[in-house]
Amino acid sequence: MGKLVALTLLGAFLALIGERLVALREKTNAYREVEPVEPQNCHLIEGLENGSEDIDILPSGLAFISTGLNYPGMVNFAPDKPGQIFLMDLNEPNPRVQALNISDGFDKASFNPHGISTFIDKDHTVYLYVVNHPHMESTVEIFKFEEQQHSLIHLKTIKHELLKSVNDIVVLGAEQFYATRDHYFTNFFLATLEIVLDLHWTYVLFYSPREVKVVAKGFNSANGITVSSDKKYIYVADVFDKNIHVMKKHDNWDLTPLKVIQLDTLVDNLTIDPDTGDIWAGCHPNAIKLVIYNTEDPPGSEFQALSTRGVLWFLPAN
C-alpha cells in the first residue's frame, strides 16, 4: 500500500515536472526571434563593452552605471574583473564614462554590483545604494557621492535575513528602501528548479533600520523595481511572468496590488521618464538565448515604453 502511494506520488511529481517543462518553453519565449533593427541614435559606449547592469540618473543629468555582475547562469565577458560603478554626464554632447574611485576600507575585489538607486537628502547630498553580491551573498551598500573627487565614500553595509538573492532596489528615504528578491533558493540548482516548477515564492521587501518586512509576494522572479513620479505607486517587473505589477504604496510602506500589465517579453530593468511619468522597460525577448549566449546569434534586447495616464491607463506607447 505504502509503495503504491509512493509510486503514485512519484508519477504525479514527474508528470508535474513534464508539464512545467513544456510551460517553461512558453515562459522563456524559447522560440521567439526578433528582427534586428538599425539602432539609429544608439551606440556602444566606450569603456562599457563588457556590458553593464543597471543605471540610475540624477535630476542634474549625472548617470550612475553598475558593471561587472557575476551571477550564476549569466555570461560575464570579464569574469576576473571586479565590479565597478561608472559615472556619465548626460549633459555633455558626447558623454563618456569614468569609473568612480571607491574609498579605502571597502572590499573592492569582491564588489559585485547589481541593482542601484540614488537618494538625495535635504542638504542635497547624493547617496548611492548598491545591491552587492560579495562571495554570492546579498548585501546593500550605502555610498556617499563626492562629485568633486569623482569618488564614492563607503558608509555602511546592510545585511538582513530577508535580504537574500536581492536583485534591485528603490530608495525612498534615508535608509528606507524597497528591494526585490529574484529567487527564493540561494543554491543555483534549487533556484533553477524553482523557476521550472513555477513556485512564485519571491517577494518585495521593505527595509528601514526600525522595521524590515515582506510587502508583496507571489512573484515568479521579482526583478526591476521603481517608484512613480508622484511617489504613490511602486512598479515591479516579474521577469519570467513577463509582466509589470502596479502597487499602491501606503503610509506604513505596505503595498497593495492594483494592476498587472502583461507583456510578451521578459521584463527586467524599469525606469520612469521624468517628464511624462511613462515606464521604460529593458527587456529580454528570449531567455533561452540569453542563457546560452551564442555570440554568432546573440540574444538581442528589447525596449518597451508604457504610457501611464493616471494609474488605471496603461497603453503600450510603442
Where along the sequence are the contacts to ligand NAG (CB under 6 A)? 47, 49-50, 53-54, 77-78, 101, 103-104, 114-115, 167-168, 223-224, 268-269, 282
Comparing CB distances to ligand NAG, the nearer of 20 and 70 is 70
- Nearest partner of 172 among 69, 84, 255, 276, judged by Cα: 255
Whole-number minimum distance, CB 313 to ligand NAG, in Å?
25
Comparing CB distances to ligand NAG, the nearer of 83 and 282 is 282
Whole-number minimum distance, CB 49 to ligand NAG, in Å?
5
Q: Which residue is nearest to ligand NAG (CB)?
A: 115
Comparing CB distances to ligand NAG, the nearer of 101 and 228 is 101
Give the C-alpha separation, 83 to 64, whole Å: 13
Q: Is 114 a catalytic residue?
A: yes
Cα distances from 288 to residues 67, 70, 251, 293, in angstroms, run: 22, 18, 40, 8
Whole-number minimum distance, CB 158 to ligand NAG, in Å?
17
Comparing CB distances to ligand NAG, the nearer of 112 and 308 is 112
Cell of 35: 528582427
Q: Say which of 114, 154, 245, 284 is annotated catalytic.
A: 114
Whole-number minimum distance, CB 138 to ligand NAG, in Å?
13
Cα distances from 13 to residues 16, 20, 196, 240, in angstroms, run: 5, 10, 13, 22
Whole-number minimum distance, CB 47 to ligand NAG, in Å?
5
Secondary structure string (H, E, C) spanning the chain: CHHHHHHHHHHHHHHHHHHHHHHHHHHCCCCCCCCCCCCCCCCCCCCCCCCCCEEEECCCCEEEEEECCCCCCCCCCCCCCCCEEEEEECCCCCCCEEECEECCCCCCCCCCEEEEEEEECCCCCEEEEEEECHHHCCEEEEEEEECCCCEEEEEEEECCCCCCCEEEEEEEECCEEEEEECCCCCCHHHHHHHHHCCCCCEEEEEECCCCEEEEEEEECCEEEEEECCCCCEEEEEECCCCEEEEEEECCCCCEEEEEEEECCCEEEEEEECCCCCCEEEEEECCHHHHHHCECCECCCCEEEEEEEECCCEEEECC
Whole-number minimum distance, CB 293 to ligand NAG, in Å?
12
Comparing CB distances to ligand NAG, the nearer of 8 and 149 is 149
Comparing CB distances to ligand NAG, the nearer of 103 and 307 is 103
Give catalytic residues, as residue numbers: 114
